[in-house]
Amino acid sequence: MVDSDDALARAVAQLAIGEGPVGLDAERASGYRYSQRAYLIQVRRHGSGTFLIDPTSFDNLDELNEVIGPEEWILHAATQDLPCLRDEHLVPTALFDTELAGRLLNLPRVGLASLVEHYLRFSMAKEHSAADWSSRPLPESWLEYAALDVEVLAELRDAVKTDLKTAGKLDWALEEFESLLTFTGPPPRIDPWRRTSGIHKIRDRRALARVRELWLTRDEIAQELDITPGKVMRDQALLALALDNPQTLSAVKSHASLRNSRTRKFLDDWHEALEDASLIDDADLPPSGVKSDGPPNPRAWADKSPEAATRLITVKERLIVIAEEHNLPTENLVNPGIVRALAWEPPSDLTPESIAGALRERGVREWQIALTAEALTESFTP
């Protein structure tokens, strides 16, 4: 366990004399904490050993990044860990994602345990995957579990890389890995309060305003306490409060949904949120639905635009054939959302070059463009 400056200095020195790529993993406290920060970072390199680094003990990990930053990193499901690693000033310049590689090989199961069993014939213990990694001290069994997650990443990478070469997909994988280097996390959601469980039951705009104000209040409290919003107040209680709309603080206090001891600590806040919602002008109330910038749900295409519906059916059939020819999952051949957007509104100049340009603008990789641009063009041509 690396949780002091001296221990970090020793770890950095050991990693500097190691050789080959660096295996990394990060443990968060999803389901327990508001933040998605890393509470443990596992690092392993051949000739150096394994280090379990507690990032909460340091302002940043710049000196670690100076040593491992120029090396190839091996991660499994890199998009899960890259944002929290970046928050600790750990930024890769080259990486190998074993999960993504497994998808390109069209393996039936691409979880870390499944790949390790498939390639290396080891079974992995996964009993602490949902643990609260913000706890301190961390139990010895948790530390062993965490260390084992990076124990054979280098061996796994070598085995998967061999299969990629054999399948003629290594260059594809390298393009995919290159694109991950700039990944900073998913784009922020528009109106995240609309994801409140059960909100589809509400059509009244004033009630929606109450949901929004309660959600924003809960989110602010959760962020301040660094706990998941559901531990402040569950969605079910939030929705019940918004629907019943108790008018006074006394009525809020006696509301049946607010029985949780932590929820009751913030009765004044819930009452204030309800009052704020009641003062919103009718013109400023949230709409009952949100208009998307993208195409409508494909189920509505036949009515809204039969031509687009035909294009989408045709291109899906073509892409399935291409994916089967190259032994790829269709979603890894090209992002389905991008296909829908282009099927709904193709470029006016329907040529492979214009389609390739439209795909490139949306971040589609060159290997994907080479496989799909012509098929998309033909599918969209009347």
pLDDT band for 367, please (50, 70, 90 cuts): very high
Q: How far apart are CA 325 and CA 115, in angstroms?
A: 23
Residues 30 and 73 placed together within one structural domain of the fold = yes
Q: Looking at the predicted structure, is the pLDDT value of residue 154 above 80?
A: yes
Residues 259 and 368 placed together within one structural domain of the fold = no
Question: Which of these ranges, 288-302, 317-331, 337-351, has the smallest mean pLDDT?
Answer: 288-302
Give a yes or no: residue 155 inside a domain: yes
Residues 230 and 339 placed together within one structural domain of the fold = no
Give a yes or no: residue 292 inside a domain: no
Phi, psi of 333, rounded to the nearest 5 degrees: -70, -45
Helices within 2-126 (DSSP H only): 5-17, 62-68, 78-87, 98-104, 112-120
pLDDT band for 111, please (50, 70, 90 cuts): very high
pLDDT digits (tens, 9 = 90+) for 317-327: 999 999 999 99
Residues 121 and 46 placed together within one structural domain of the fold = yes
Residue 257 pLDDT: 86
Give a yes or no: residue 276 inside a domain: yes
Average pLDDT across the chain, whole number: 95
pLDDT band for 356, please (50, 70, 90 cuts): very high
Q: Looking at the predicted structure, is the pLDDT value of residue 344 above 90?
A: yes
Give a yes or no: residue 185 inside a domain: no
Residues 22 and 171 placed together within one structural domain of the fold = yes
Residues 259 and 317 placed together within one structural domain of the fold = no
Give a yes or no: residue 203 inside a domain: yes
Domain that holds residue 206: 192-284
Cα 324 from chain centroid? 27
Residue 350 pLDDT: 92
Report, as an integer, the average pLDDT of 92-105. 98
Residue 187 pLDDT: 87
Residues 274 and 317 placed together within one structural domain of the fold = no
Q: Going by DSSP bridges, is the β-strand pair 40-46/19-27 parallel, antiparallel, or unpaired? A: antiparallel
* Helix H or strand E segment including 26: strand 19-27
Residue 235 pLDDT: 96
Q: Looking at the predicted structure, is the pLDDT value of residue 126 above 80?
A: no
Residues 34 and 143 placed together within one structural domain of the fold = yes
Residues 318 and 256 placed together within one structural domain of the fold = no
CATH number reported for the structural domain that contains residue 205 in this entry: 1.10.150.80
Between residues 188 and 93, which one has the greater pLDDT?
93
Q: Looking at the predicted structure, is the pLDDT value of residue 256 above 90?
A: no
Residues 202 and 342 placed together within one structural domain of the fold = no
Give rounded-to-5 percent helix, strand, coil for the chain: 55, 10, 35
The structure's pTM equals: 0.92
Which amino acid would we find at residue 197? S
Residue 72 pLDDT: 98
Q: Looking at the predicted structure, is the pLDDT value of residue 290 above 80?
A: no
Residue 51 pLDDT: 98
Total number of domains constituting the chain: 3
Phi, psi of 27, rounded to the nearest 5 degrees: -115, 125
CATH number reported for the structural domain that contains residue 90 in this entry: 3.30.420.10
Question: Which of these ranges, 200-204, 218-222, 324-328, has the smallest mean pLDDT?
Answer: 200-204
Give a yes or no: residue 186 inside a domain: no
Cα 142 from chain centroid? 24
Residues 70 and 203 placed together within one structural domain of the fold = no
Count other Cβ atoms within 10 Å, centred on residue 262. 12
Report, as an integer, the average pLDDT of 244-268. 92
Phi, psi of 49, rounded to the nearest 5 degrees: 105, -170
pLDDT digits (tens, 9 = 90+) for 16-70: 999 999 999 999 999 999 999 999 999 999 999 999 999 999 999 999 999 999 9
Last residue in a domain, options 180, 203, 229: 180
Residue 129 pLDDT: 75
Residues 347 and 263 placed together within one structural domain of the fold = no
